[in-house]
Amino acid sequence: METKKIIPCLDINNGRVVKGVSFVDLKDAGDPVEIAQAYDKGGADEIVLLDITATTDGRDNQLKMVGEIADKISIPFTVGGGIRTIDDFQRILAEGATKVGVNSAAIKDPNLISKASKRFGSERVVIAIDGKKRRDGSGWNVYTNGGSVDTGIDAIQWAKKVYELGAGAILLTSIDLDGTKSGYDIDLTRAIAESVSIPVIASGGAGTKEHIYEALTAGKAAAALAASLFHYKELDIIDLKHYLEDKGVPVQWRS
């Protein structure tokens, strides 16, 4: 089994970290720079920073904040939200981000994935897939604009396509379970992980350390992402890593 990663997610709205349920009912969780620093010191392997209203508001990502975070932490971090062009990739990476996450723009123009991969390297291109189960239970569709727009695209087929176009990783969020703390969508996570040979980051629904273990084993995810579970000190990352290691899951330790 490959070494697994633990990744806190900072959902940003108006310059503050927020957390909600199924992308709504947002509550303030603190200053993003301070929280990023705390996670760096607290054993996180990476951080994901998502400006969750940048796309729906039609504005750019908050570059100043990205630069401030880059100056304060030593671990890799991905920035997403409001990314529409190759120039947006360039600006985010120039501010010090390690990777760039994109969702809506890639669906509108899939060639953006291949262009970014060729210019910056596939390892810097993360495709966010927000999946929601179809009412008939036949599979999952891809949603955009913060989970508000059903594209009608099958999530598994889209995952295969972004992999073929050069994406370096997939950030997979279950809209149905996001913020519920009832566990990840293991079926969705496993289906996506088995359809591609790039890392899949499981997101949406973490409530216990057992849920994270399930995502990394039964779900076959390369990494587990969580937000409120870490933000509100319900689970310590170092304790979580010891738990996973005791269960036979290899994790990363920083000296």
Question: Where is 36: in which H helix or E strand?
Answer: helix 32-41
* Catalytic residue check, 11: yes
Residue that has been written with the tokens 């009412």 in this structure: 135
- Helix and strand element counts for the chain (H, E): 11, 12
Find the catalytic residue in 11, 40, 178, 185. Answer: 11
CA–CA separation, 71 vs 74, rounded Å? 8
- Rounded to the nearest 10 degrees, the angle between the axes of helix 155-165 and helix 111-120 is 40
Q: How far apart are the first and last CA of the chain?
A: 22
The tokens describing 181, both together, are 């703390």
- How far does CA 35 lie from the centroid of its chain? 16
Identify which of 84, 180, 189, 79 has the alpha carbon closest to the alpha carbon of residue 131. 189
Find the catalytic residue in 88, 130, 178, 185. Answer: 130
* Catalytic residue check, 87: no
**What residues are labeled active site?**
11, 130
